[in-house]
A and B are shown apart, each in its own frame.
Chain A
Amino acid sequence: MEQPLTKNIKAGQTLSLKEYEQAGGYAAVRKVLKNNAPQEVQQMVKDSGLKGRGGAGFSTGIKWSFVPMGDDARHPKYLICNADEMEPGTFKDRLLLEGNPHQLIEGMILAAYAIKADISYVFLRWAYRQAAEIMERSISEAYAAGYLGKNILGTGWNLEMYLHTGVGRYICGEETALLNALEGKRATPRAKPPFPQVSGLYGKPTIVNNVETLSCLPHIINNGAVWFKSLSASEDSGTKLYGVSGKVKRPGVWELPLGTTMREIIEEYAGGMANGYRLKGVLPGGASTDFLTEEHLDIKMDYTSVAAAGSRLGTGTMIVMDDATCPVGFVHNLQHFFAQESCGWCTPCREGLPWVEKILLGLEKGKGSTEDIELLQMHTQYLGPGNTYCALAPGAMEPLQSALKYFKDDFMAHIEKHKCPYGN
Chain B
Amino acid sequence: MEKKELLTEIEMRAIDHEISLVPYKKAAVIEALKIVQKQRRWISDESIDAIANYLEMSAAEVDSVATFYNLIFRKPVGKHVILLCDSISCYVMGYGRIYQALQKRLSIQFGQTTKDNLFTLLPNVCLGCCDHAPAMMIDEDLYEDVKEEQLDKILEAYK
A115 within 8 Å of B by Cβ? no
> What are the residues of chain A within 8 A of B1 when measuring CB–CB?
none
Q: Which of B6-14, B97-105, B112-120, B122-130 contacts A (4 or more CB under 8 A)?
A: B122-130
Known interface pairs A167-B71, A245-B89, A319-B92. Does A253 touch B140 (Cβ–Cβ under 8 Å)? no
Q: Are A317 and B127 in contact (CB under 8 A)?
A: no
Q: Are B87 and A126 in contact (CB under 8 A)?
A: no
Does A244 sit within 8 A of B, measured CB to CB? yes
- Within the complex, what minimum Cβ distance (angstroms) separates B79 from chain A? 18
Give A246 to B88 CA distance when docked, in angstroms: 9
Contact of B68 among A128, A169, A243, A283 (CB under 8 A): A169
**Interface positions of B from 122 to 149, Cβ below 8 Å from A:** 124-133, 137, 140, 142
A91-B140 CB under 8 A given contacts A246-B92, A287-B88, A334-B88: no
Given contacts A86-B125, A184-B27, contact A167 B91 (CB under 8 A): no
B21 to chain A, nearest CB (A): 7
Instruction: Encode A140-184 as 1/0 by CB contact (under 8 A) with B.
Output: 000000000000000000000010011111100000000001011
**Min CB gap A113→B, angstroms:** 22
A88 within 8 A of B: yes
A187 contacts across to B, CB distance below 8 A: 68-69
Give how many A residues have a beta carbon under 8 Å from the other chain's beta carbons.
54
Q: Indicate if the CB atoms of B29 and A128 lie closer than 8 Å.
A: no
Question: For the complex, is A417 an interface residue (Cβ under 8 Å from B)?
Answer: no
Task: Say yes or no: B125 contacts A253, CB within 8 Å.
Answer: no
A342 to chain B, nearest CB (A): 12
A210 to B58 alpha-carbon distance, docked (Å): 34
Q: Which chain A residue has the least Cβ–Cβ distance from B126?
A: A88
Q: A319-B89, A322-B92 are in contact. Are A89 and B126 (CB under 8 A)?
A: yes
List, in ascending order, chain A residues with CB within 8 A of B133's CB.
Answer: 245, 251
B126, A87: Cβ atoms closer than 8 Å:
yes
Instruction: Let me know if A251 and B131 touch, CB within 8 A.
Output: yes
Tell me if B33 counts as interface (CB < 8 A to partner A): yes
Task: Say yes or no for B155: interface residue by CB 8 A criterion.
Answer: no
In the complex, chain A residues 122-143 whose Cβ is within 8 Å of any chain B Cβ: 125-130
Known: A88-B125, A90-B130, A184-B27. A337 touches B89 (CB 8 A): no
Pairwise interchain contact A88-B71, C-beta atoms closer than 8 A = no
Complex Cα distance A91/B68, Å? 24
Residue of B at shortest CB range from A332? Answer: B91
Scoring B86, B125, B129, B132 by chain A CB atoms within 10 A of each residue's CB, the highest score goes to B125
Contact present for A169 and B70 (CB under 8 Å): yes
For the complex, give the distance between the alpha carbons of A62 and B21 in Å.
Answer: 30
Query: In the complex the two chains form, what is the Cα distance from A255 to B158 in whole Å?
Result: 38
Decide yes or no: A85 and B128 within 8 Å by CB, A184-B22, A184-B27, A319-B92 being known contacts.
yes
- The answer to whether A185 touches B65, judged by C-beta atoms less than 8 angstroms apart, is yes
- Pairs A–B under 8 Å by Cβ, sample size 9: A88-B89, A94-B128, A125-B128, A126-B71, A168-B124, A170-B125, A283-B88, A319-B88, A320-B92
Known: A168-B125, A202-B27, A243-B131; 10 extra A-B contacts, CB below 8 A, are A88-B126, A90-B126, A94-B129, A127-B124, A186-B68, A245-B92, A251-B130, A317-B130, A319-B88, A319-B92
- B residues neighboring A (CB under 8 Å): 21-23, 26-31, 33-34, 64-65, 68-72, 83, 86-89, 91-93, 124-133, 137, 140, 142
Binding site for B on A (CB under 8 A): 85-91, 93-94, 125-130, 162, 165-170, 181, 183-187, 202, 243-247, 251-253, 283, 287, 317, 319-322, 325, 329-330, 333-334, 336-337, 340-341, 343
